[in-house]
Structure formats: C-alpha cells, structure tokens
Structure 1
Amino acid sequence: MEEIKSKLEEASGLPNCCGAIDGTHIIMTLPTVQTSDDCCDLEDNYSMLFLQGIVDHEMRFLDIVTGWPGGMTVSRFLMCSGFFKLCEGGQRLNENFRTLSGGVEIREYLVGGLAILCFPGS
C-alpha cells in the first residue's frame, strides 16, 4: 500500500491516496419475465450495476464487486460492498494518517466521482 500511495502522489500530487473507485451500469434487454423497479436505473433503463472497481496507480484492480440491481445508487452500492465493511472494521483505509507540511494530518482515502461522496464518512 505504501508503494501505491507513493506512486499516486508522484503522478497526481495527492498525498496518502490509496486508489481510485468508480462504478458503471450495463444496460439489459427488456426481460421476458416480470421484474421490479429495482432493475431500472435513473434513466429508466433495465440495468444491473455491473461493476464497482478500485484501481491502483497502474490501473490494476484491487477490488471488484458485480451483480447488484441497476436501481441502486453508486453510493448505496458502495455501502453494501465488502470493501466498505472492511473499512468500517479498520482493515482497509484504516486511518493511517500522514502529516503534511504545516502540521496538517490527512488520512488514507480513495478518489472517485461525485456519486461517491465523503468515503469513508465522518
């Protein structure tokens, strides 16, 4: 993890960053069986939140989650993931602080899109 954080800071200037996270939908053909609204995404397409991935400085996947209904928001999907539960238990993003010049402390974090706000939360 220290190598990942060092390389990400070298490439982007983001200190103590442990990776990048995002999710994507895959649109499905209208099913032949009765479905619930859980499978409709925000654009009323039948979809499955196909992939949530966390990558390192070399774009290698560190964590992947698939197979949840398209009606879930990306942030809700994250909170239901095993990665989130590991963070809550202190096994990932475990508050390993780094002190910057000026005495400012910054904890480990991931960067992501606007749909993933304040993770892990305060």
Structure 2
Amino acid sequence: MEEIKSKLEEAFGLPNCCRAIDGTHIIMTLPTIQTSDDCCDLEDNYSMLLLQGIVDHEMRFLDIVTGWPGGMTVSRLLKCSGFFKLCEGGQHLNENVRTLSGGVEIREYLVGGVGCPLLPWLITPYESSGL
C-alpha cells in the first residue's frame, strides 16, 4: 500500500491516495423478446454494468464488481459493493492519516470518475462552468 501511495503522489501529486475507481457499461445485443428496462442504460442502449474496477498505480485490478444491469448508475453500483460497505464501516481506508506541511491531516482515499459520489474517502472531479 505504501508503494502505491508513493507512486500515485509522485505521478499525480495526490498525497495519501491509495487507488482509483470507476465503472463502465458494456453494450449488448439482445433478442427483442428478452429485453428489459433494467438493462437499458442512460443512452437507451441495452447494457450490463459489467465492471466496476479499482486499480493501483500500474493499472492492475485490485477489486472488481461485475454483472449488474445497465440501468444502474456507477454511483449506485459503488454503494452496493462490498468495498463501499467496508469503507463506510471504517474497516478500510482508515489506517494511515498523513500530516502534510502546515499540520494539515489527510486520510487515505481513492480517486473516482465523474459518476462516483464525493465521500470522505473518495474524491471526484470538480465540475463547474467557467473554470
């Protein structure tokens, strides 16, 4: 874990960052008799949210969640995962608080994509017009 955090800080300037997380939809072709609104994604494609992946600094998968219907959002998938439950329950990403210059303390965290929720242990891109 310390190597991952060191490499992510070196590459991206993110102190105490442990991993990155995101999800993807895989489009499927289904016979018309088997279609379901549960498998329809936000772009009206039939898909299965095939993969939520957590990767390290070398893009190696450390955790995956698969098989959820395409109508589910990345945020919802995260909240259904075992990893989310461990983090929210304080059993993961709470071990090493790092003190930065100036005395600012920062806990371990992940970086996530736009579809991920902002949480105490997960940072997401800031989106605003005019920046």
Deviates more, 1:43-52 or 1:22-31: 22-31
Q: Quote the sequence identity (%).
A: 92
In 2, Cα distance between the equivalents of 1:42 and 1:20? 23
Partner of 1:15: 15
Residue 32 of structure 1: CA displacement?
4.3
CA distance in structure 2 between the aligned counterparts of 1:24 and 1:31, rounded to whole angstroms? 22
CA–CA separation in structure 2 for the residues paired with 1:36 and 1:96 = 45
State the aligned residue count.
Answer: 115
TM-score (ref. length: structure 1): 0.85
Name the residue aligned to 1:95: 95
Structure number with higher relative contact order (C-alpha < 8 Å, ≥ 6 residues apart): 1
Report how far residue 95 of structure 1 moved.
5.6
Against the structure 1 CA distance between its residues 106 and 31, is the aligned structure 2 distance closer, same or farther, given a 3 Å change threshold? farther
What TM-score, normalized to structure 2?
Answer: 0.80
Structure 1: which 5+ residue stretches go unaligned? Answer: 114-120
Change (3 A) 1:31 1:86: farther
- Inter-partner Cα distance in structure 1 for 2:108 and 2:46: 36
User: Which digits, 9 at most, give the CA deviation of each residue in 1:59-111, with x for residues without a partner?
Assistant: 11110110000001101100001110111222221263211111111111111
Give 3-state SS (helix, strand or coil) of 2:9's partner: helix
